[in-house]
Structure 1
Amino acid sequence: MGADIALNNGLPPEAQGVTVDQNLGKTIRLDLPITDSNGRAIKTGYVFDGKLPTIVTLNYSNCPMLCSIQLNKLTSALGKLDLKLGTDFRILTLSIDPTETTQRIAETKARYLDDLNNQPEAESGWVFCTAKQPIITQIADTLGFRYKYDRVNKQYNHPAMLAFVSPTGVITRYSLDIDFPADQIKLALVEAGEGTVGSPVDQFILWCYSYDPQSNSYTPAAWKIMRICGAGFLVIMLICLVPYWVGRKRTAADETETVPTPDPV
């Protein structure tokens, strides 16, 4: 708490408290009403339907800088993924501006989909939506997303956040940067997918990594790698020793057969 106060004291008032509390393990309610970019009234359970993991972002179309940088970086990373948006995972982008219109958010969605022309399911897989202020507040609170409205400059001060959410709405991981390496996104999606996303090799790679909250990234887990190396060494030793053991048994059997039987006295 003391460190937070000291940090906030060094910030201008409009930026104080703008952060993300990583609420790992919390669940986004599935019955919250939102409106998608087609004007359809849906519930959050439409996205978190138990089938695919989801990346959740909180942005708004009139953001002067951060949102466009974040979403451009995200679409760039998506183009490098071998997982496909709409087939292997979804994205939910909720506007934090309750006055944003359906038309405006549809225009924003179209702009980013243009960069994903190699992913035919992206249209249905990336859900841009608006909501009323109480719903925005509830979702933001569940995610630990702390933002403020700057009445002087008429804009929202907010952090950059990707939240990785399981198919049933459980928050499993965060990325709090504006640059998203594709391999890190893939590991987070495989983890959030709870076995529904990625090949057995992907699951094995995830097992070999641990999430480092200090670097906000997945890093190789030394003890797991040592276990793998140890197991591999034992397997190699067994492979090498089996022929030796078999050879010794055959030699002993041959010697038994060639020993002459003594004549009776």
Structure 2
Amino acid sequence: MRRVLLIGGLSLLLVMVTSSASYSHGEETHGELPVLLAEEEIPVVVGVDEKPGDTLHTDGLWWNERGEQVDLEEVLDLPTIVIPAYYHCPKSCSFLLASMAAAVRDLDLFPAMAYRVVAVSISDDEDATHAATAKTQYFKILGAGYPEEGWSFLVGDKESIDRLCASMGYRFTKKGPHSYIHPNVALAVAPRGKIIRYLYGPDFLTADLKKGMEEAAEGVPRISIHRVVTFCFDYDPKNRGYVLNVYRTMGTVTLTLAGLLFLYLVVAPTVRRSRRR
């Protein structure tokens, strides 16, 4: 009876997947994030191509939150957590940066001495005033006593941003002014910008950051274990904009449950019978 119920549950799940997929008719995939096509086709290229051991492209024009032009390579003079995001984002960037601030706050390393944090805006629409506002906001989470030079908020011109992101393997798409689709990820880099590890958000753990900084201090690149990429994107009901890939999400759930059912219905009884002999 239990086996019949489990098989019936799997069948129901498959029906649900088919029904969900039917609501996504007309969906096409560009890069790693699909879109629903509206009046005109907007290609979306967003994702992360990990490049451990490569060096970040630090040339270009960069300014800090005080409006001072800085040399990015000189900013990266310590093991550093680099966070590509944009400060005007009302969606997951806020959670990404807030989560980073909370994790950094509990890090038992000396900021500006043992490590740095550098947020880099991917938006060429933003300037030093946006960076200054972001710094004020997230330093409230860090609390009194956290050194100003421990976390920089940078902005750059489009060419500098594009080259830096390309060197990271960080792919994003601009929808419009102050509107981007992008991955939620940070990088642990060694002094002068050697990529050591990718840290996937929007939630960060203090232990992961500490491990990343220790590895960055050693200068030995690592392959990320928890490689689950989340994306920041908006849904535009007027133009039927960007949506989550129902096929991929439900397909993954279905395969996982089917695998568990197979183990329970086929493998487990076989193991039990062999133990009785």
How far apart, CA to CA, are the structure 2 residues paired with 1:80 and 1:125?
A: 14
2:218 to 168, 182, 194: 194
How far apart, CA to CA, are the structure 1 residues paired with 2:132 and 2:44?
A: 32
Moved over 6 A (4+): none
CA contact (8 A) 2:31 2:45 kept: yes
How far apart, CA to CA, are the structure 2 residues paired with 1:120 and 1:150?
A: 35
- The structure with the larger Rg is 1
The residue that corresponds to 2:235 in the other structure is none
The residue that corresponds to 2:126 in the other structure is 100
The residue that corresponds to 2:189 in the other structure is 165
> Could you say what secondary structure the match of 2:82 adopts?
strand
> Could you say what secondary structure the match of 2:166 adopts?
helix
Residue 62 of structure 1 deviates from its aligned partner by 1.4
Q: What's the TM-score once normalised by structure 2's chain length?
A: 0.64
Residue 18 of structure 1 deviates from its aligned partner by 1.1
The residue that corresponds to 1:215 in the other structure is 226
CA contact (8 A) 1:18 1:146 kept: yes
How far apart, CA to CA, are the structure 1 residues paired with 2:214 and 2:43?
A: 34
Which amino acid counterpart does residue 117 of structure 2 have in structure 1?
I
Between the aligned residues of both structures, percent identity stands at: 28
CA contact (8 A) 2:56 2:193 kept: yes
* 1:174 lines up with 2:202 in the alignment: no
1:82 to 104, 108, 124: 108
1:112 to 119, 138, 141: 138
Q: What's the TM-score once normalised by structure 1's chain length?
A: 0.67
The residue that corresponds to 2:161 in the other structure is 136
Cα-Cα RMSD:
2.7
The residue that corresponds to 2:180 in the other structure is 156
The residue that corresponds to 2:209 in the other structure is 185
Residue 32 of structure 1 deviates from its aligned partner by 2.8
The residue that corresponds to 2:117 in the other structure is 91
- Structure 1, unaligned runs of 5 or more: 196-205, 218-265
CA contact (8 A) 1:98 1:132 kept: yes
How far apart, CA to CA, are the structure 2 residues paired with 1:104 and 1:9?
A: 29
CA contact (8 A) 2:55 2:167 kept: yes
Inter-CA distance 18–191: structure 2 relative to 1 (3 Å threshold): same
How far apart, CA to CA, are the structure 2 residues paired with 1:167 and 1:101?
A: 26
How far apart, CA to CA, are the structure 2 residues paired with 1:8 and 1:164?
A: 25
| Per-residue CA distance 1:50-93 (angstroms, 9 max, x = gap) | xx101111111211211001011111111221113222111111
Q: Highest relative contact order (Cα 8 Å, sep 6+), 1 or 2? A: 2
CA contact (8 A) 1:85 1:119 kept: no
How far apart, CA to CA, are the structure 2 residues paired with 1:167 and 1:146?
A: 23
Between Structure 1 and Structure 2, how many residues are aligned?
196
> Could you say what secondary structure the match of 2:34 adopts?
coil
